[in-house]
Structures are given as structure tokens and as C-alpha cells.
Amino acid sequence: MKKLSVIVPVYNEQSTLNDILDRIKTIDLSDLGFEIDLIVVDDASSDGSWNILQDRKSDFSSLIRHEKNMGKGAAIRTALNKAEGEYIIVQDADLEYDPEEYRKLLEPVVKRKAEVVFGSRFTGERRNMFLHHWIGNRFLTALTNLLYCTTLSDMETCYKLFSKKALSGIEIRSNRFNFEPEITAKILKKGIRIYEVPISYAGREYSEGKKITWRDGFSALWAILKFRFID
């Protein structure tokens, strides 16, 4: 049985944390030849998230806590050092992405069609996102396509599945949401073609805890440009 390492970065998600962890626990991928290696990194949450995680620590292969808040990219970097799986996927701790769709991302891998698979929110069913997020996502994806000579529909998606081999030699420097353009750039610069599958998406409101802002859009723009020309 191969392992799929599911990395869950957590920061102040007490309202959704139990629900997303319960959903992950119900996933059975044995018919595809996979079991889940669950790695959770609490990024110095100040609400009740860490208490919830401690109560459920038997559910995880690894549970790690940052002493200070460092950002999503930093949490993923920490988790990658613990990942035992042949394949790795990132799962946000909110309810915007559905773990039931791990199967969709794994199928091209099982069929030997891909090393890296992205779940596209723009080709599947979705709760419509804010207009400025839609415009920002489209612009950043178009710029990625132009600079890296590819045809992605959703560069900023959380659901990115990688083989450990594809990640070999890649050093993640970004600490925040600019992880998304950095890892995309570095995969494409290795000459790996990204496979996309449609996924559903249930974007939440800021009142529900959404954290990404327009400032993160500018950070992503800089990352797309920067990593095109440096490592």
C-alpha cells in the first residue's frame, strides 16, 4: 500500500477543524492502493485550534506546532520534512475544498498520466467567489501561463498533488500564500507538465474566517515574476 501524505496547515480554524478532520478520516483510498499519512501543523493558533488538535493527536501521523505564526508556506515547509508518502497533497483546514476529491487527483497518477495534478476550481461546480478574487486568480494564472509556457486554468488552487520525486531538489522559500506560485513555478521549471482535473469549491466569506486578501495577490504577482528568473 502506498501512502498519500495529506498536509493540513492550521491557523485559527476552531470552527471548521473537527469537521475537516472527520471528513479526511472517512476517506478510503485502498482500492487505488493508497493509505493516508496525515500531517498537521498548527501555525501558532490563538483560538482553540491547538486544544482540538491535542485532543485528536492519535488521528495524525505527525502533529507539529509553530511557536509563532509564520504563514501557510512555512507550515507546509515544516510538514514536508515529516511526509512519508510517495505522493503529497495540501488540505486547507477550512471547508472550501472537499477531501472526497482526493480520488479525482489520484486517478491520473494511478493511470501513470501525471506526476503532478492540480484541482481546478474553474472547471468544476463551485460556489461563486468574490469578483476581485476571480479577477485576481485569472490574471495570476494567465501571467503564469505566459511566463512559463503552460495552459493552466487555476494556478492558485489549494489542491496540488505532487509525487515526492517531483518535489526532489525543490527548496520552498515562501512563508505565506505565495507558496502557490512558487511551487508552481519550480515544478514547471523542472520541465514537469501539470495535469488538471475539475474539483468543486465552496468559497467562504470573510465573516466565516477567510484570510487571503488583496495584499496576498501582490505577493503572488511578485513571486511569479521572481521565480521565473531565480531559484
C-alpha span between 100 and 6 (Å, rounded): 13
* Radius of gyration for the chain, computed over Cα atoms and rounded to the nearest angstrom: 16
Could you read off the pLDDT of 89-130 as tens digits, one per residue? Answer: 999 999 999 999 999 999 999 999 999 999 999 886 655 555
* Ranges of the chain with pLDDT below 50: 206-209
C-alpha span between 87 and 223 (Å, rounded): 25
Specify the pLDDT at position 104.
Answer: 96
C-alpha span between 166 and 8 (Å, rounded): 20
Number of domains in the chain: 1
Specify the pLDDT at position 128.
Answer: 57
Specify the pLDDT at position 96.
Answer: 93
Beta strands in 30-181 (DSSP E): 34-42, 62-65, 87-90, 116-120, 126-127, 160-163
Q: What CA–CA distances, in Å, run from 12 to 92, 128, 141, 212? A: 12, 24, 28, 13
For residue 228, give the H/E element and its range.
Answer: helix 214-229
CATH number of the domain that residue 144 is part of: 3.90.550.10
Specify the pLDDT at position 81.
Answer: 94
Cβ atoms 220, 154 nearer than 8 A: no
C-alpha span between 120 and 90 (Å, rounded): 14
C-alpha span between 175 and 159 (Å, rounded): 18
Q: How many CB atoms lie within 10 A of CB 150?
A: 15
C-alpha span between 27 and 171 (Å, rounded): 30
Helices (H), 94-194: 102-110, 131-148, 164-167, 179-189
Which one, of 43, 40, 42, lies nearest residue 25 by Cα? 40
Which one, of 3, 158, 184, 23, lies nearest residue 91 by Cα? 158
Q: Domain range for residue 159?
A: 2-229
Specify the pLDDT at position 215.
Answer: 67
pTM: 0.89
b/e burial code for range 111-140 (CB count within 10 A of at least 16 → b) = eeebbbbbbbbbeeebeebeeebeebbeeb
